[in-house]
Every structure is written in structure tokens, then in C-alpha cells.
Amino acid sequence: MLKRIVLPVIFLLLFIPFRSLAVRQGNSEIFVSAGYFSYDEFKGLFDAWNSYADPFAWPDKQTGAIFVYYQYFVTDNIGIGFAAGYDNQQGTLSTGDERSTGHTPQNIGRYDRRATTFAPEIFYKYYGWKGGMVYGTAGIGYTSLKTYYNYDPGTVSYYGNAYKSYSEDKSHWNAHITYFGIRLGTTIAWNLEFGFGYKGMISTGLSLKI
């Protein structure tokens, strides 16, 4: 679904009329950001909601989507680059929701959900001025997603089944669109982005021109 959205957006970004007041062709930048409400965070909540029977897993700790991105401006307005990021959720495992089991839930361990994403991206500057710009981005990549279920020793379900710790791999293709981003600064700049995908619905960070 995300790929069907992102591919047309990439082509649209290449042909949108623009105004440029700053020449940036040949520049490179490194961008570090922290985002929230990423695709994998929503996926973790959805998976937890579907696991309400037994065991129930709900996150209580999240790092957010932490990304490092390098880009090179091939024209004054178009940059190409590569993003790498990490997104982690942790929470308590319990013996299910009383709605389905009819029993009071008991904590039986912890789980650790780790998502590592790598993706090429395209950057497009909608409008620029001295010391700032408005832009959008789009990217498609791959997320290595692994969840570790660590049960307390000797724990059993209400039905007498013994729990054993294990790991689960649900790696998947991923994508991201920043439909509105703003950058303020010159050599070092502050960035704020709104979008959807692996970087989160809102993210902020610093970029450095090199």
C-alpha cells in the first residue's frame, strides 16, 4: 500500500514548479532526526491489540524513530540520498485480557521489538530563501523487524501451557513520505517534518552542510 502511494509522489516531486533563491547544486548534507508515530510503532500497537487473548503485549517504552540521512544535491532543488534508522518498542507480557480469558491478567515477562530500516530517498525543495527552505521527501526501503519474547522462568498460562522465550522475525518493505518539511539555518539547520511512514508522522532534528 505504501509503495503505491510513494512511487507516484516521487515522480510528482520531480515535476512540480518551483522557485529557488539559493544555489545548492553539489552540496552534501547529513541529517539526524527523531520521529514519532512511525509505521512500525502503529504496527506494534495493532499487533498488540490483536494479541489480547494470550499472551497480551502492550508497549510501555518507545525510542521513537531515530534516523541518520545523507543526501547530495544533483540540482539546486533535487537531492538524492540514503537513510538508516532504528525504532524500538518494549512492553510487558501478560496472560491476556479479562474480556477474552475471564481471568485477571498476570505479568509473565517482557518483550523487545527492534526495527532497523535502510532506504534510498529523494529530496525536493519546493521553495527556498536565504537561511531556509520548504521541502518534501519520499523513500522506499526495507525494515528488519525482530521481536524478542522473554518470559519469566516457570510461568504458565491459565490453561497449563508453559511459556518459553523465543524470537519472531517480521521483516518487511517500508516507505515514507514527507509532504511538508521546513528547514531553518545555513551550515547547521533545524528541520521539522510532517509525513507518514518509517520516520513518523512528525519528526525533528538537525542537518549539517558538508
Return the pLDDT at 160: 66
Other Cβ atoms less than 10 A from the Cβ of 19: the count is 10
pLDDT class for 138, splitting at 50, 70, 90?
Answer: very high
Other Cβ atoms less than 10 A from the Cβ of 165: the count is 14
Q: Does the CA dihedral 16-22-28-30 come out positive or negative?
A: negative
What count of Cα atoms within 13 Å lies in the side-chain half-sphere of residue 193? 34
Residue 5 belongs to what H/E stretch?
Answer: helix 2-15
Average pLDDT over residues 186-202: 95
Average pLDDT over residues 2-26: 48
**Using an 8 Å Cβ cutoff, are 177 and 138 in contact?**
yes
The lowest-confidence range among 97-101, 163-167, 173-177 is: 97-101
Across the chain, what does the average pLDDT equal? 82
pLDDT, tens digit (0-9, with 9 covering 90-100), for 67-85: 999 999 999 899 999 999 9
Q: Domain with 95 in it: what CATH number?
A: 2.40.160.20
Give the domain range for residue 177. Answer: 2-209
pLDDT class for 18, splitting at 50, 70, 90?
Answer: very low
How many structural domains is the chain composed of?
1
